Structure 1
Amino acid sequence: MTTDRESDQLLVERVQAGERQAFDLLVSKYQRRLMRLVSRIVHDPAEAEDIVQESFIKAFRGLRHFRGDSAFYTWLYRIGINTAKNFIVTQSRRTPTSTDVDAEGAEGFDEGEGLRDINTPESMLASKQIAETVNAAMDSLPLDLRTAILLREIEGLSYEEISEIMACPIGTVRSRIFRAREVIADKLRPLLNVPVDKRW
């Protein structure tokens, strides 16, 4: 039985041998995951799609140099994150054209699904406030902290995989995730009536 990493490596070798259809299989396998990650970094769906497409183009062009020292998806995620970071830097140099807050996006927080099943208006409002608060806290995080927490909590990657993707030591990854969780927890405390001196 082959692992994902082994099957990806076989597809990479087929692409390197000139078989373009093998790359289509890699795109099919990772497009949704990469889109989910990039969408959490860049909040405009159209821009996120462009970044994902650009990431796959960069991956295809760079695949001949891919040696397999890391897993393909780790390498691809790094390309996607770097492309998203470059986009954000480019956008920050431009003057903003809109200051609208995306309230619709705040309701799309997937992890709040269980909370939204409660039927009382009060609990539905509380769930919405929690989701909005978590999304706002995530958006306020510096990019490195946001990326680390997204890779861990949304993508479910290990600390080692995140370390490879972000090109930093595991201790730095742990620190970034801890700091991101602390920021989110601080924002949630008032909504959940958790005392400041109490950890959860």
Structure 2
Amino acid sequence: MGDREIDQQLVERAQHGDKHAFELLVAKYQRKLGRLLSRFIRNPTEVEDVVQEAFIKAYRALPSFRGESAFYTWLYRIGINTAKNYLVSERRRPPTTTEFDSEEAEGFEDAEQLRNINTPENELMSKQVAETVNKAMDSLPEEL
């Protein structure tokens, strides 16, 4: 049985309330996701926080995971979006979506599926980023 099949079984168990199954997914991908996000967030403590937040978001969104892509592909996208939100909240310039997707996704399994993926999670994240940016812009004085 391959990794994708094992992940799918763990996801299905987690979707049915098996917390240990999700813990196994966290153990499997925590370091990998951390290495990915450390390319964009330099402080190791901040990377750990963003990775943890990404797993929390993944856990909450797990009921909506349909299995159309590999679990890591889905988690990768959540991790990238969480990192983008973090960078915006810290008033740092996040890399553009094309920098994340085109350059970084090439080395990952199912990279083609990462491009132009429109999931409810991505749409929500985009709206949240836009709201954060708009609020920040509204709070700026008219003359700088």
| In 2: Cα distance, 1:76 partner to 1:49 partner | 15
Which structure 2 residue ranges, 5 or more long, are not aligned?
A: 118-144
After superposition, the CA RMSD in angstroms is 2.3
8 Å Cα contact 2:30/2:51 also seen in 1: yes
8 Å Cα contact 2:34/2:47 also seen in 1: yes
Give the CA deviation at 1:90: 1.6
Deviation string 1:61-84 (CA, Å, 9 cap, x unpaired) is: 111111101110000000000000
1:20-39 alignment, distance < 5 Å:
20-39=19-38
Letter in 2 for 1:167: N
1:145 matched residue in structure 2: 99
Give the CA deviation at 1:20: 0.3
The correspondence for 1:157, drawn from 108, 115, 137, is 108
Give the CA deviation at 1:46: 1.1
* Local SS of the residue matching 1:40: coil
| In 2: Cα distance, 1:16 partner to 1:81 partner | 23
Give the CA deviation at 1:147: 5.0
| In 2: Cα distance, 1:73 partner to 1:50 partner | 19
Q: Matched residue pairs, number?
A: 117
Higher relative contact order (CA 8 A, sep 6+): 2
1:74-153 alignment, distance < 5 Å:
74-92=73-91, 142=96, 144-146=98-100, 148-152=102-106
1:56 matched residue in structure 2: 55
The 3 A distance-change label for structure 1 pair 166 and 89 is farther
Letter in 2 for 1:47: E
Give the CA deviation at 1:148: 3.2
Which structure 1 residue ranges, 5 or more long, are not aligned?
A: 94-138, 169-200
| In 1: Cα distance, 2:91 partner to 2:108 partner | 29
* Local SS of the residue matching 1:82: helix
Identity of aligned residues (%): 53
Deviation string 1:107-157 (CA, Å, 9 cap, x unpaired) is: xxxxxxxxxxxxxxxxxxxxxxxxxxxxxxxx9x756325532333xxx32
| TM-score, length of structure 2 as denominator length | 0.72
* Local SS of the residue matching 2:38: helix
The 3 A distance-change label for structure 1 pair 92 and 163 is farther
